[in-house]
Amino acid sequence: MANIKQQKKRIKTSQKSRVFNASFKSSMKTAIKRVEKLVAENNLQEAEASLAMACKKLDKAVSKGILHKNNAARHKSRLFKLVNSIR
């Protein structure tokens, strides 16, 4: 455990952000899996709706610094390819 006051504060804030980032990543992964599941079921309309939500979550993760922009772009590209494959 740190003795310095500033380090104690950094431990608290980094722990808070770690919990938030983990929660956000989990919801993002769930959104991606939902799109993949709907594509597997050949449900185009719901897949497109959930694709929009997944893209929104990926973009938000980039803006908050949780993901790198190229990582999000790669995920979005793969999801769009999946959805377009059932059209």
pLDDT in tens, 34-86: 999 999 999 999 999 999 999 999 999 999 999 999 999 999 999 999 999 99
- The separation between CA 45 and the C-alpha centre of its own chain, rounded to angstroms, equals 21
Query: Measuring CA to CA, how many Å separate 79 from each of 17, 39, 74?
Result: 28, 9, 9
Question: pTM (2 decimals)?
Answer: 0.88
More confident call, 1 vs 42: 42
